[in-house]
A and B are shown apart, each in its own frame.
Chain A
Amino acid sequence: MSVITCPSCNTPAPPGAVFCDHCGYDLRTVAPMGGQQVPPTYMIPSAEANEIICPNCQHANIAGSVFCENCGSQLAQAAAPGPSGLKPAVPAAQPPAAAAPAPAPAESMVVGRLVIQDSQVTLPIPPGKQVIIIGREDPVSGVFPDIDLDPHGGHEAGVGRRHAQLMVKEGQVYIEDLDSVNGTAVNRQRIAARQPQPLKSGDELRLGKMALIYYSK
């Protein structure tokens, strides 16, 4: 056994070294001694990856930034390659507080009801809203969800104050988990936080341990 040379930075490393002391390169992938060493390559040319200009405030952020250093806007580069990026485009449901929301077309309103499976209590979905927050009312922290599960044992069942939301996009109702502690499931399949899932009449929802059936009428 003899000394090996880090292919990444050419620093010699003792035999048996796992990582290069100088640059951190994983030396387990390096053939010891005499083996042909292909220097690793860069792929992304600096021209296209240099700075990320914030579309909101034009601040130049360093490469790899996910939120703008100046204004906090999420930078597009961070979007996961998914069906529609990282965040669902909630149809202008939460405009900055000042702007009065324009009346939305009826087809973008969430309608229907939820029925609690244990008690068979029906909870009508309040009409005329594009987004329905389901959770537990907590006046202390100023949380007033559209559908309050607190009187129905929501706390014991692990329902969060802002647990999940219903919304409509292009005529389809979606359920989105709002990063709840105890999670949301549709037909016993846990859904990922912040990723809206389509919902159809008769589907079973679980918020924490609480089971509800969604009916569109």
Chain B
Amino acid sequence: MSGELTLIATPHRRVYPAMDIAQQAYILLEITPSANAPAAQNQPVNVCLVLDRSGSMSGEKLNAMKQAARLVVDQLGVQDLLSVVIFDDAQPAELVVPGAPVIDRQAIQRKIEAIEERGGTHMSTGMRLGLQELQRGRSPERVSSMILLTDGQTWEDQQECRDLADQCRAAGISIQAFGLGVGAENNWDPRLLEELAQRSGGEWMPVESPDQVSAAFQKTLCAIQGAVVANANLTMRMVSGVTPRAVWRTAPLISRLDHHAVGANDIQVFLGEIRQGTGQALLADLLLPPRAAGIYRLIQADVTYDVPGSGLKGQRAAIDVTLDFVNDATQTGQVDERIMNLIEKVVAHRLQTQALDDAAAGNVSRATQRLRAAATRLLELGEVELARQADQQADLIEKGGHLDPAAAQKMRYATKRLTEIE
């Protein structure tokens, strides 16, 4: 154990009632770089830009995308690997810049400058080529990540995109997905981008207008370069009877994370990179088995990771989660206010996301009901503007059966930021 990470586990109650039936519990797991972790500001990276060059990108969007890509080149050096892939609906996608150390910046920028728009959107071809390039350059010394930008709905290859995101996770590569423009017809699908990020341990966000692409790429690149550890994988080993219901990331942003079973009682969650500053916080929603009074270690959590820069592989940090079950009912009312606040935010995010899914599936009454419930939660949280938006969309769908498409794209992301630190 080399101590780059510090793990803290906090249950949502100080003590739990001893019961002969199952009960729900939340455990907050905070994973932060240790004080003595090497300062991470300029970690060597292995980055592939996978960019949409379809016809709808023409003009301002294409120029903004090229400008953003050129700025990425400026931020990288000889220790980094960069590749650039562009895709439309032609097979295969085009490798504009093959993965190599960034030595001659101008030569790379000239190749980016020459990109022209054409065709439709078939995202999986771009992702596949991008993954190949990233895999060639993959090593524990570098943080590997795919930066994906699209403005359109990909045609008939959503499943291939999802499969590729799974392959990225297996290779320890996160996807940072950006949807450019909001509200236009045949626009990018926020659900698909969310899923790609979720499956690969990455993040997604809408970029509302072309002039914001550069800033979005810069922020993401800084986050990747600021990773203290990469390829982080959480394993939760639970005693028989503990059932995981969901695992949420609450910092840096709220995301539901995929967990998959390994062995009878264990689950694994891919976390991707863990950065200086915020680290990652996870909220595990669990069902606890019946327990009599006593102290129990119900979960052992460990995180394995690589340390870029030093090239250390498979490092490990671990913590025991012990819970105290008591018979005294007067003690069990005490909840951890900080965790309750996080749960409340996750609940608001979940309700709103479900409502958007309901709306997309044409379930008007369910969507209306959930949007109103989300609005109530958001108001309680003091998020007046978000609450107003949810209420407005509830009115809209109730009357016309449809949401405003721009609002739907923005709202899916907006509640992810409820836990964001200013």
Contact = CB atoms under 8 A, between A and B. Distances in A.
B239 A194 contact: no
A189 interface: no
A98 B391 contact: yes
B335 A40 contact: no
Interface stretch (A77-85, A105-113, A121-129): A77-85
B296 A19 contact: yes
B18 interface: yes
Interface string A42-62: 111110011000000000011
A181 interface: yes
A177 B265 CA distance: 41
Contacts of A178: 382
A96 B330 contact: no
A205 to B, nearest CB: 18
A172 B209 CA distance: 48
A164 to B, nearest CB: 11
B22 to A, nearest CB: 7
User: What DSSP secondary structure best describes chain A's contact surface?
Assistant: loop
B340 A143 contact: no
B391 A97 contact: yes
Nearest to A23: B239
A72 B352 CA distance: 10
A66 B285 CA distance: 11
A181 to B, nearest CB: 6
Contact of B19 (A42, A81, A179): A42
Interface string A131-152: 0010000000111000000000
Contacts of B377: 72
Given A24-B239, A194-B337, A97 B347 contact: no
B327 A64 contact: no
Contacts of B18: 40-44
Nearest to A39: B292
B344 interface: yes
Contact of B334 (A41, A67, A80): A80
A67 B350 CA distance: 12
Nearest to B348: A72
Contacts of B337: 80, 86, 192-195
Interface residues of A, number: 57
Contacts of A71: 351, 369, 373
Contacts of A215: none
B23 interface: yes
A42 B290 contact: yes
A195 B295 CA distance: 31
B379 A49 contact: no
Contact of A40 (B12, B239, B294): B294
Nearest to B287: A62
A179 B297 contact: no
B341 A193 contact: yes
A42 B295 CA distance: 13
B24 A63 contact: yes
B385 A143 contact: yes
Interface string B333-366: 1110110110110011011000000000000000
Contacts of A97: 375, 379, 387-388, 391
B292 A40 contact: yes
Contacts of A41: 18, 292-293, 327
A19 B237 CA distance: 13
B295 A29 contact: yes
Nearest to B24: A64
Contact of A78 (B340, B391, B421): B340
Interface in A22-39: 22-26, 29, 39
A63 B330 CA distance: 17
B351 A72 contact: yes
A149 B333 CA distance: 37
Interface in B169-223: none
A67 B347 contact: yes
B17 interface: yes
B329 interface: yes
B265 to A, nearest CB: 10
A50 B335 contact: no
Nearest to B346: A67
A161 B422 contact: yes
A23 B341 contact: no
A196 interface: no
Given A41-B293, A62-B24, A80-B335, A194 B341 contact: yes
B298 interface: yes
Given A26-B295, A29-B294, A94 B23 contact: no
B327 A49 contact: no
B183 to A, nearest CB: 18
Contacts of A65: 24
A28 to B, nearest CB: 8
Contacts of B330: 81
B320 to A, nearest CB: 8
A21 B337 CA distance: 32
Given A42-B290, A141-B385, A72 B296 contact: no
* 4 nearest CB pairs, A to B: A64-B23, A40-B292, A43-B327, A142-B385
13 contacts: A19-B296, A20-B296, A24-B239, A24-B298, A61-B24, A66-B24, A71-B351, A72-B374, A80-B335, A81-B334, A142-B385, A162-B382, A181-B422
